[in-house]
Each structure stands twice: as structure tokens, then as C-alpha cells.
């Protein structure tokens, strides 16, 4: 029996026609492709071919925006106001996740934050979920639970596998295919509760423009994207930092100077998670860690529009850090 082409084959054909005929998918094509991927309408062979053709070509902003739309269409989103969407997917291997303390300071100041991520997809890294469990903070069971935690405590962390199990499975293909896939980029732009502000980080500087342009296509009003420590939303305070922000949908590009010396900072050999709580409580001092917390918080404040420039954002962040309640990480947990 002669069968017609599989419905998903057309997307592979667009991406794999050769050097002169290959093109990127449109936003609508990408959304349809992602809906099919999440709807279990694609064969395993097609998934591998599709992801690797995208990887070789490098995903376009239109493709990422369409993929995000496709994932969002699969989610049942509760109605809840969130100030900041904070993706956390890279994991840390050289420094502890100091950015987590910046998020908690912001939550204690009255802002609402949804953090989402995936643990364990790359060996040898410490993930945000590990740190939260160590600190005794809850992990949301689903989007509804995350919404309740945000309303009660101003902060929630939601694992991707509890929000979109099929998307989480695309991350697992890295160990099989040997390369990252567009899932790593689109997850950072997912913003499932549709916050007006999103903060993102990349490891490879070439992805800064992709994040910027995809965010514009998605209608994101406020955003910051920069090269974060290990690919997480964490300022490297000993390095200059190129920060791209959206302020009411208008692009701004700024270079933030280092806030501490020593550009050749050594990696943390121990990665002792107990130091997170100890720094919060003021039991230890760590110049780099405090600068990372304050610098990260400053970038988020700038993205929110709370500060007109980097200098005043840093001053405001320092004040919030120094004024934190050292006895409690969250107002309620």
C-alpha cells in the first residue's frame, strides 16, 4: 500500500532541503509543529531529525516565538498576577546559585516571582530545585499550586516536568543526540503565567539577539537578557555585563561595569549549599557572592523599570539586600 507523507514531514522538508533551499519556519509553522510534538503526533525518528536540523541551522527568533506559542496553548493557566518570570534551566557548576537569594530578596520586597526550571539534565551541576530543598522551601506541584504559592509567599518554583511533561522529555534527548535542542531556548522564554516582565540569561552571547527578537515577536513589554554565570540569571560581578532590556517594548542595550576586581575568579570546589542560607543570615561573608546577589537583583530591578539606569538600580539592590529579614527567606512558606 502506498501511503502519503506524514503530516509532520513537511516541517522536516523545509529545514532539510539543502544549502540553497533551506529556510526557517514561520511563527505559525513553528507553532503548529510544536503543537504536534506535544500532542504525540510525531514519530520518534521525526523528532530527532527535526531537532538536529534546527540545531545545525540554529533556531530563528520566529521559530522560538512559534514554539513558545505552541507550548502555551497546551497549558491550563490559572489567573494570577506575577511581576517577574524567572527561568532557571542551566544549573551551576562553578559557583553556587546565588541568584536564588536575589529572587528571594525581591519577593520579600513585595514583588511576585515565578521561577521554573528542570533539574538533572546535565551531570555535574547544582540545580535550583536542589538548592530550594536544601533551604527548606517548597516546590510547586503544578501551575495551580505555583499560583497559590505566588499569592501567599510572593515566590514559587515550578519544575518543567510538572508543567509540561512532554516538553521536559525533549530535554532528555540531549544525552541521546549529543547536542542541546531548541527546547533549552524556548523554555527560557516560556513565561507560562504571562508576566509583563521576564528575565533571561544565556551562556553563548550569540543567543542574546535571538532572545531579544523572540521576546519582541511574543509582545513581551519588559525583559532583560544577558550572559549569566553558567547560563543562569546571575550577574558575574567581576566581568563587564552586556544587558539587553525591553522597556515598554523598546529595546535598550547597556554595558554594566564590573563591581568587584579579580576577573580570574577560581571555581568553587565544594559547592556547599549550606553557604546559601549562611550568607542570607549574615553568618558568613563572601565578597563575590554578595556582589552576585546585588548585581543580579539590580538587573531585575532595571528590567522591571524600577530604576532608570544601572547605577541607581545597583544602589536600590544594595539597599534591599542590606535591609533583608535575615531570619526568614520568605514572608510565608
Average pLDDT over residues 100-126: 92
Max Cα distance, the chain (Å)? 73
**Is residue 2 assigned to a domain?**
no
**136 pLDDT higher than 70:** yes
Say whether both 128 and 53 belong to one domain. Answer: no
What CATH number did the domain enclosing 317 receive?
Answer: 3.40.1030.10
In this prediction, residue 131 has a pLDDT band, given cuts at 50, 70 and 90, of very high
- Residues 253 and 294 both lie in one domain: yes
Cα separation of 70 and 89, whole Å? 19
Read off the pTM.
0.94
Mean pLDDT taken over the chain:
93
Examine the domain organization and report whether 27 and 130 are in the same domain: no
In a domain, 3, yes or no: no
Q: Given phi > 0 = left and psi -120 to 50 = alpha, else beta, which region is 62?
A: alpha
C-alpha to C-alpha distance for 151 and 280, rounded to whole angstroms: 23
Residue 57: inside a domain:
yes
Looking at the fold, whether 69 and 162 belong to one and the same domain comes out as no
| pLDDT given at position 333 | 62
**pLDDT tens-digit series, residues 170-181:** 988 887 877 778
Last residue of a domain, one of 48, 73, 98: 73
Kindly state whether residues 168 and 315 are assigned to the same domain. Answer: yes
CATH number where 56 lies? 1.20.970.10
Q: Is residue 238 in some structural domain?
A: yes
Domain boundaries, position 213: 84-322
Domain assignment present for residue 332? The answer is no
Domain total for the chain? 2
Asked if residue 98 and residue 25 are part of one domain, the reply reads no
104: cell is 528571594
Amino acid at each position: 500500500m502506498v501511503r502519503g507523507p506524514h503530516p509532520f514531514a513537511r516541517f522536516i522538508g523545509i529545514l532539510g532541503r539543502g544549502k540553497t533551499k533551506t529556510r526557517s519556519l514561520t511563527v505559525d509553522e513553528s507553532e503548529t509543529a510544536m503543537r504536534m510534538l506535544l500532542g504525540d503526533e510525531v514519530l520518534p525518528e521525526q523528532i530527532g531529525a527535526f531537532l538536529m536540523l534546527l540545531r545545525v541551522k540554529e533556531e530563528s527568533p520566529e521559530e522560538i516565538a512559534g514554539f513558545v506559542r505552541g507550548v502555551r496553548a497546551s497549558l491550563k493557566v490559572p489567573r494570577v498576577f506575577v511581576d517577574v518570570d524567572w527561568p532557571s534551566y542551566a544549573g551551576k557548576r562553578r559557583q553556587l546559585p546565588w541568584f536564588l537569594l536575589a529572587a528571594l530578596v525581591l519577593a520579600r520586597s513585595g514583588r511576585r516571582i515565578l521561577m521554573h526550571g528542570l533539574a538533572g539534565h546535565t551531570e555535574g551541576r547544582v540545580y535550583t530545585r536542589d538548592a530550594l530543598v536544601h533551604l527548606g522551601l517548597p516546590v510547586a506541584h503544578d501551575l495551580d499550586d505555583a499560583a497559590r504559592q505566588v499569592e501567599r509567599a510572593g515566590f514559587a518554583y515550578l519544575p518543567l516536568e510538572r508543567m509540561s511533561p512532554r516538553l521536559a522529555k525533549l530535554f532528555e534527548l540531549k544525552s541521546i543526540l549529543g547536542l542541546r535542542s531548541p527546547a533549552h531556548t524556548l523554555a527560557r522564554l516560556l513565561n507560562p503565567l504571562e508576566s509583563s516582565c521576564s528575565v533571561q540569561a544565556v551562556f553563548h552571547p550569540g543567543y542574546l539577539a535571538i532572545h531579544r527578537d523572540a521576546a519582541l515577536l511574543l509582545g513581551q513589554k519588559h525583559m532583560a537578557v544577558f550572559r549569566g554565570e553558567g547560563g543562569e540569571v546571575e550577574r558575574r560581578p567581576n566581568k563587564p555585563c552586556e544587558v539587553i532590556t525591553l522597556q515598554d517594548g523598546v529595546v535598550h542595550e547597556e554595558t554594566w561595569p564590573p563591581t568587584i576586581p579579580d576577573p580570574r575568579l577560581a571555581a568553587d570546589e565544594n559547592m556547599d549549599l549550606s553557604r546559601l542560607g549562611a550568607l542570607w543570615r549574615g553568618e558568613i561573608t563572601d565578597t563575590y557572592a554578595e556582589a552576585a546577589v546585588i548585581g543580579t537583583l539590580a538587573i531585575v530591578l532595571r528590567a522591571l523599570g524600577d530604576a532608570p539606569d544601572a547605577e541607581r538600580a545597583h544602589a536600590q539592590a544594595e539597599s534591599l539586600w542590606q535591609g533583608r529579614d535575615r531570619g526568614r527567606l520568605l514572608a510565608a512558606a
